[in-house]
Amino acid sequence: MKQITTYANQRVLVLGLAKSGFNAAKLLKRLGAQVTVSDVQPLAQNTEAQELQQAGFTVVTGEQKPELLDAGYDLMVKNPGIPYDVPIVKRALDLKLPIITEMELASEVAEAELVAVTGSNGKTTTTTMIQKMLDHDRTAGHAVYAGNIGIPASQVAQQVTAEDTLVLEVSSFMLVGTTTFHPHIAVLTNIFSNHLDYHKTRANYVAAKMKITANQTPSDYFVVNFDNPEWRELSTQSKAQVVPFSRQNVTQDGAYEDQGILYFRGEAIMPADEVKVPGDHNIENALAAIAVAKIKGVSTGSIVAVLRAFGGVRHRTQFVLEADGRQYYNDSKATDMEATEMALKGFKAPVVLLAGGLDRGYTFEKMIPAFKDHVKAIVLFGETAKLLAETAKQAGIKTIKMTENPETGVPVAYELSAPGDIILLSPANASWDQYPNFEVRGDKFIKAVEKLTGKQEEV
């Protein structure tokens, strides 16, 4: 870890705990800061706050009132999920108190070279592909991932050395709170209109994403999806060397697909249909990862080995196992219609779909085309089961079954399937009507598949 003096004797307020705030607080104390931690969860139910308090931190729990800032601070380290329009953050802005996120701290102390990945979709899969490629057959150090992927960057940044590569998944929420963040390789997978409740305008959202390249220089690299004119135009804002990727073969300057083959600057890498994770969106993710790997000098053999073996990130169109000629996929992370549509479009074989979940008050007519083209039978559960059944009828799906939950739905789906079919959990809804989160829902589905087939999940 770099021994920086930036935060020595600084009075720092860490706003919001969870894993990122907890680790940011510990790092700041190690760097000599005077740290106060504020979290809305009461102390009695807040194990992270209790641990920090026992370690000598000043801890304030409960409502985060603007008056908390009267104590006088030099810096606020804000949990990325806390919006900028809550009263205490608005007052900090009025006071011109610097506000950063934990990602900024991590980047300042990490000795390892940084690769950072952002985008509206595909961040986690692309980050994982890159990490696996950079770590494959590596002779010195390791490639490790952290950040929005679920591992606090400030924790990992203290452990990596100059021989390592730190691959960071970076959200727009994290990027807003950066000023010096400087990855050697930055990746932009795509930009759509997400998180406008947080950023207020699309322009703000795009500006947040583009902070990933704001401090790059001509000795750095900016890997960008060129399949959209807006994203190509955004790449001109970067001072780094732009390395494009394109599934539509709009450029051959970087990584691209041409007639079913993946290339990098004229070198054939592998057939697209040998990429194990299904779907055009995963070809784009693979192309982005190929570009980064080639920049770093990874062999074509290592790239191919990773893409042939990588079955997907857990809960994101994750290949679980194959049994009796059926392939089982866990896409529990599909908590909206768009994600399920994307998953369905990734399969050429007939799909028996398990779907349903929390009723958020919308209907599912926009899914009719994807249902018509890909779904042979559907197994429904949760609060939206009846609404989805109506959509399935409109799509002409003749076999529609109701079940209690994804676990009870697995044997039902098997009975409706035939060898060569895909059995896919892709709920198109949040999990909170039946499960605490989508991870638990996906894990329960996997256990049910293992019980039915007598086989273990492939990892």
Binding residues for ATP: 119-125
Using alpha carbons only, what angle is made at residue 401 by residues 423 and 456, rounded to the nearest 5 degrees? 30
Other CB atoms within a 10 A radius of the CB of residue 243 amount to: 24
Residue/partner pairs of 299-304 with CB below 8 Å, 24 or more apart: 299/137, 300/267, 300/269, 302/133, 302/136, 302/137, 303/133, 303/136, 303/269, 303/270, 304/269, 304/270, 304/274
Distance from C-alpha of 69 to C-alpha of 73, rounded to nearest angstrom: 7
Q: State the binding site.
A: 119-125
Looking from the CA of 120 toward its CB, the CA atoms found within 13 Å total 16
For the CA atoms of 41, 44, 48, 51, the dihedral, rounded to the nearest 10 degrees, stands at 150
CA distance to 33, 118, 172, 182, 236, per residue, from 225 (Å): 40, 11, 17, 20, 13
Distance from C-alpha of 280 to C-alpha of 347, rounded to nearest angstrom: 10
Distance from C-alpha of 354 to C-alpha of 411, rounded to nearest angstrom: 11
* φ, ψ (nearest 5 deg) of residue 260: 80, 5
Distance from C-alpha of 366 to C-alpha of 443, rounded to nearest angstrom: 28
CB burial readout 400-426, b (16+ within 10 A) else e:
bbbbebbbebbebbbebbeeebbbbbb
Using alpha carbons only, what angle is made at residue 396 by residues 391 and 397, rounded to the nearest 5 degrees? 80
The secondary structure of residue 40, as a DSSP letter, is S
The secondary structure of residue 191, as a DSSP letter, is -
| 113 in Cβ contact with 136 (< 8 Å) | no
DSSP assignment of 440-458, as one string? HHHHHHHHHHHHHHS-PPP
Beta bridge partners of 271: 261
Which three-class secondary structure state does DSSP give residue 423?
Answer: strand
DSSP assignment of 61-77, as one string? ES---GGGGGG--SEEE
Beta bridge partners of 257: 262
